[in-house]
Structure 1
Amino acid sequence: MIRINDEIALDDSEIEESFIRASGPGGQNVNKVSSAVQLRFDARRSRALPDAVAVRLMRLAGSKLTQDGVIVITAQRFRDQTRNRADALERLVALIQEALVPPTPRRATRPTLASKKRRLEGKAKRSGVKAMRGSVKLD
């Protein structure tokens, strides 16, 4: 069980890990060892997440989300597999914790009288500047 917070915990069976070869420098080691981790989590079908959290999570995942609603996180920052596994899991937990916080609703506000006056004065000033650009008429 992977604890997200006091109420939510993910079952280990919901997370699928596969090990791939990491790209980048590393010499002979990078060609032989599959140290990078590709973590897959099906956010759409997860029983542990409430629907609202799952929707926010899928929106937050962005390019990490597949068409099927699976979040794919690739970790290859470290040279060994165990640290990359921990890194991928931490990133998933952080993403879910961010999705747990509901967005604050926007409250509609009205502009103040002073701001309306400033806006109109600015428009009148600009209008005057543009009116002065016209061609000069000699009497």
Structure 2
Amino acid sequence: MAETRDLQVTGSVVLPEDELEEQFIRASGPGGQNVNKVATAVQLRYRTLGSRAISPDAKRRLLRLAGQRATKDGDILIEASRFRSQERNREDARERLAELVREALKPPPPPRKKTKPSKGAVERRIKAKKGRAKIKAMRGRVPD
């Protein structure tokens, strides 16, 4: 049986391998002479708009959460070059994408209900303001 490269996001959400595209590039930073010869950094591209794995609402939230990582075509591009090995960078990029998708799958919080201060709270506030005004009025010059 061949190993599948599908990305398990949650128990019920799996991003199919054909919607993910990996490209290896040369990484900058430490690595000695190895850095100039070996393409260890990975660019992981997720084709969001054509995806069947997540709902349209989740896609919208995902693209908003991705920010600069989202392209004009609706793809999400994640670069990973933290590690010196190709395999660890691949795992890092896949985990970062999965975390982003998990965040997008959470439903938005319910809208805030507007509330009014109680009558007593309004009266206490006005009373406190008048008290402060009296104190400040007493600070003026004393008439001769």
Instruction: Please state which band the TM-score falls in when normalised by the shorter chain.
Output: 0.7 to 0.9
Structure 1 counterpart SS, 2:57: helix
What are the ranges of 5 or more consecutive residues in structure 1 without an aligned counterpart?
A: none
d(CA) in 2 for partners of 1:130 and 1:70?
A: 61
**Match among 87, 110, 114 for residue 116 of structure 2:** 110
Matched residue, 1:67? 72
Give the deviation of 1:58 after TM superposition. 0.9
How many matched pairs? 138
Gaps of at least 5 residues in structure 2 are 1-5
Partner Cα separation in structure 2 for residue 41 and residue 64 of structure 1: 10
**Change over 3 Å in CA distance of 1:97–1:133 after alignment to 2:** same
TM-score normalised by length of structure 1: 0.83
SS of the residue 2:61 aligns to: helix
Task: Please give the alpha-carbon distance, in whole angstroms, between the structure 1 residues aligned to 2:82 and 2:120.
Answer: 54
How far apart are 1:41 and its partner, in Å?
Answer: 0.6
Identity %: 52
- Say yes or no: does 1:43 pair with 2:52: no
User: 2: distance between equivalents of 1:68 and 1:131?
Assistant: 65
Spell out structure 1 runs of 4+ moving beyond 4 A: 121-134
Kindly tell me: are residues 60 and 118 of structure 1, through their superposed partners in 2, closer, same or farther at Cα, counting changes over 3 Å? Answer: farther
| 1:33 correspondence with 2:28 | no
